[in-house]
Amino acid sequence: MSATRYRRFLKLCEEWPLDETKKGRDLGTFLRHKVAHAFREGENTQLSDPEKCDQMYESLSRINNNVNRERFPRTKDTSFTGVTVEECRMLLATGSMQQMDEQKKGLWKTLMERFSSKPEDVTPEKAPENK
């Protein structure tokens, strides 16, 4: 039975799309790593909880086959913010995320410099002595 589970997960991994714009954060890549870890011995792997494995497969399969998307169709192609799926993909791409992180660092450094309680040129060694 473990061999059948293994083959089902392999087929799911083959079908699951990879998003090249999300390097290191892609769900398909994460799924492949988890399956490789769970089935280290391939078809010969002895699973500690076969029922949980079957539940996980069924859940992932429903996501991959858009079961809920078909069951509950959306009236609009945007979220409550008005952002489309394509705009969301563009914003969540690794390059965009890195750019936003760099901007945040710049903002954080600026705020720290502006609201720092100590002047930059006064260090404990150079602080004036009180007499």
Domain spans, the chain: 1-73, 77-116
3-class secondary-structure state, position 78: strand
Cα gap 103→111, rounded to integer Å: 12
- The whole-number pLDDT of residue 92 equals 72
What does the alpha-carbon distance between residue 54 and residue 91 come to, in Å, rounded to a whole number? 34
Residue with tokens 């002595």: 129
- Mean pLDDT, to the nearest integer, of 10-36? 90
119 has pLDDT over 70: no
Q: How many angstroms separate the CA atoms of 35 and 11, rounded?
A: 11
β-bridge mates for residue 84, sequence order: 78
Structure tokens at 115: 């609201």
In which band, very low, low, confident or very high, does the pLDDT at 11 lie, cut at 50, 70 and 90?
very high
Compute the distance between CA of residue 115 and CA of residue 92 in angstroms, rounded to an integer.
31
Q: Which residues contact 88 (CB under 8 A, 6 or more apart)?
A: 79
- Residue 59 to residue 82: CA distance in whole angstroms: 29
The one-letter amino acid code at 109 reads K
Task: Give the separation between CA 64 and CA 18, rounded to whole angstroms.
Answer: 12
What is the residue-averaged pLDDT of the chain?
81
pLDDT tens, position by position, 54-105: 999 999 999 999 999 899 988 877 777 787 878 877 777 767 666 666 666 6
Q: What is the pTM of this model?
A: 0.61
